Structure 1
Amino acid sequence: MKKYHIFVCLFSLWIFTSVHSQPTSKKIDVLIVDGFSNHDWEQTTYVVKTILEKSELFNVSVSTSPAEPEDKNWKHWKPKFKKFDVIIINCNNINNKEIKWPKKIEKHLEHYVTTGGGLYILHSANNAFPHWKGYNLMIGLGWRQPNQGIALQVTNDEKIKEIPLGEGKATYHGPRKDVIIYKLNNHPINRDLPKKWKTPDMELYKYARGPAKNLTVLSYARDDITNINWPVEWVVSYGNGRVYNSSMGHLWKGQTYPISYRCIGFQTILIRATEWLASESVTYKIPENFPTEFNISLANEQISKK
C-alpha cells in the first residue's frame, strides 16, 4: 500500500508539473509605422491597434517618423524592425514625394522582410514610395502611373489578366461604395470565409500597378460601371518573408471610426492577415456575424482617438 501511495503521489506531481510547466502562448509583436499621409493616419493607427489588441493575439507598438523632408529628427528615427513579428505600414507620401525614409531604414525593412519578416501594407500605404525599388517589389502592386508597372484584372472565369506596362490608365478609384468581395484563391487568411461577402464604403482600386512578382490575388471586386473585376487583396513572397496588401481600410480626415473599419469582415481579415504574416498559420476563428453577400455586419463598440 505504501508503494502504491508513493506511486500515486509521484504520478500526480508529474502531471501537475507537466501541465503547469507548459509554455504560455506568446503574443505576436506588431509595429505600426506612421507619421505622414493624406489620410487620417493618427486615428487609423489608433483604431488598428485597438482592433488587434482586442483579439488578445497581439502586442502592438507604434513608431512615428518625422513628417518633413528637412526635419533634423530623421537621424534619430531608427525603428527596430527585427524586434517585431509583423510591420504594418500606415503612411504615404503621395502629396509630397520629397518625404522619404532614410536609405538605411529602407534597406533595414528590405532585409527584415527578405529574412522572414511579415509586412502588412495598409490601404493607402501602397500609394507610398514609388522611387523605392525594393518597396515596389515588396508590395507587388500600388498606386502608380502606367509606365511604373503592369496592372492585373480578374476575368469573369476567374483567371488573371495582365495589362502591360504603359497600357491602360494610372491607378484610380471611384466613389466609395458598398462592395461585394469575391474570394479567388484559397489561403489561410480567407479559409472558411464565404465565397462572397459585402463590405461597406470601400475604395476599389483600379489599375493598381507594379512588378507583380511572386504575387497571389486572394480576392477581387467588380466595378459596377465597367463590369471589370479588380484585385482587392493579394499576398507577395519576398525572399523568405511575406507581404499582405489590400485597398480595404480607408479612414479619411474628418471621419471617426467609419463603417469601413467597423465592418466585421474587415476586422476579421485584419486580424487573420496579421496572424498569418507572423507565422503562416491562422487560429482566429470566423465570427458568427461575419457578413454575407447580402448583409453588411458592423461592430457595435465605439473606437475613437480623442
Structure 2
Amino acid sequence: MNPFINSYSKRSIWHNGYRLLFFLNVFLIIKPVSQAQEAESISVLIVDGFSNHDWQQTSAVTQWILEESGRFKVDISTVPQDSIARQSWLPAFDQYAVIIQNTNNIHDSSIKWPQKAEKALEKYVSDGGGLYILHSANNAFSHWEAYDEMIGLGWRSKSAGSSLEIGPEGNLIHYPPGEGQGTGHGDRFNAVIQLLNRHPINRDFPDAWQTVNTEVYYFPRGDAKNLEVLSYAYDSTSTQKNWPVEWVVDFGKGKVYNSSLGHLWEGETYPPAYRCAGYQTTVVRVTEWLATGKVSFPIPPDFPTANTPSLRPAEDFLQRKTKSR
C-alpha cells in the first residue's frame, strides 16, 4: 500500500471527524441560544376594564400590534366591574417590563383602582418600570396626585395644572393654572406630527409625518414636571395653535410615555387611526424603549410622509381576529 495514500486517508478521516464534531458543537450551542432568544420576549401588561372609549378593542389591537412585531409577550388584566371584586384586584406589575394603562374614569369618578393597586403602580414606576399612557388614559384619575405627576399632562380642568403650547419657533409657552382653557379637542382630522425633540423613539423618523383621523388635545394640563415634549401638531379644527402630541416623563427611576394618539371609539372596528403605519411603528418603538431604554425596531418602508398618510390593510387584524376564534 502506498504509505502516502494511507497517511493522507488517515488525516482525511481525522479531519472530517473533527469537522463533524465542530458543527455538532456549534449546533448544540446555537440551538439553546435561539430558544433563549425566543423566550426573551419583552413582557407587557395591558390594564383595562373601564373607559368612555372602546377599551376591549383598544387592548386587543394594541396586543396584536406588539405581538406581530415578534418582540413582545402581552398579557391583559381587566379591572373587575364588581366593586367588591375590584378591591382585591392587584396585578403583579413587577413581573412585567412595561405596563400599558388603558382605563379612564372621566365620566364616572367613583370607578377607581383600589388604593393598593395605585401604590403598587407608583412603586413599580419609581423603581424603574416603564408606563405607557394610552390615549384617553390621560383623562383618568384626577384624584390621584402621583398619577398626575407620572402622566405630566392630561385632560384636566382650567384650574387643575399648567398647560403647554408650542410657539412658532418651537418654544414652549406655559399657561399657569387658571389661564387659558381646560383641556379639549376639536373634530378628528389628518394631523401632521411635527418632531420637536429627537429621541430614541423617533430616531430616523421624518421631521414631519401624517397620521389620520386623530385628536389633537388643546390645553393639555397637569403637573408638567420632568417632562420632554417629543412632537406636536397644529390644531386646524378649533384653536389654530400647536399643541403637544407626545411627551415622556421621568418618575423616580422609571419612565412614562404619554400621547393623544390612539383614538378608538365605540362602534369603530380597527379604524384608520390604528391602521396608520406611523402609529403602529410608534407603539412598538415606545414599548421597546420603555422596557430597555433603547430602540432597535426599524422604520418600515411604508412609514408615512408629511404629505402622504399610510394605512395598512384592514384585513390584517380582522383575519387574525377571525382565526383566533
- Name the residue aligned to 2:227: 215
Structure 1 distance, partners of 2:277, 2:158, is: 34
- Name the residue aligned to 2:60: 46
**Consecutive unaligned residues in structure 1, runs of 5 or more:** none
Amino-acid identity (%) = 51
- Name the residue aligned to 1:29: 43
Structure 2 distance, partners of 1:204, 1:187, is: 21
Return the match for 2:282 from 265, 269, 290: 269
- Name the residue aligned to 1:106: 118
Alignment of 1:1-306 (within 5 A): 1=11, 11-12=22-23, 14-22=25-33, 23-24=36-37, 26-67=40-81, 71-224=83-236, 225-302=238-315, 303-304=317-318
Q: CA deviation at 1:76?
A: 3.0
Q: Does the residue aligned with 1:60 lie in a helix, a strand or coil?
A: strand
TM superposition score normalised by structure 1: 0.94
TM superposition score normalised by structure 2: 0.89
Please list the CA deviations of residues 79-130 of structure 1 after superposition, one character each: whole Å capped at 9, or x if unmatched: 1111111111111000001111111100000011111111100000000001
Please tell me the residue identity of whatever aligns with 1:145. S
Structure 2 distance, partners of 1:67, 1:195, is: 43
Please list the CA deviations of residues 232-280 of structure 1 after superposition, one character each: whole Å capped at 9, or x if unmatched: 0001111111111000000111111110011111111011101111111
Q: CA deviation at 1:16?
A: 3.9
Please tell me the residue identity of whatever aligns with 1:125. A
Structure 2 distance, partners of 1:178, 1:48, is: 21
Residues paired across the two proteins, number? 304
**Consecutive unaligned residues in structure 2, runs of 5 or more:** 1-10
Q: CA deviation at 1:10?
A: 5.8
Decide which structure has the larger Cα Rg and report it: 2
Structure 2 distance, partners of 1:239, 1:111, is: 9
Please list the CA deviations of residues 167-205 of structure 1 after superposition, one character each: whole Å capped at 9, or x if unmatched: 110000000011000011111110110001100110100
CA RMSD of aligned residues (A): 1.8
Q: CA deviation at 1:15?
A: 3.8
In proportion to residue count, which structure has more helix? 2
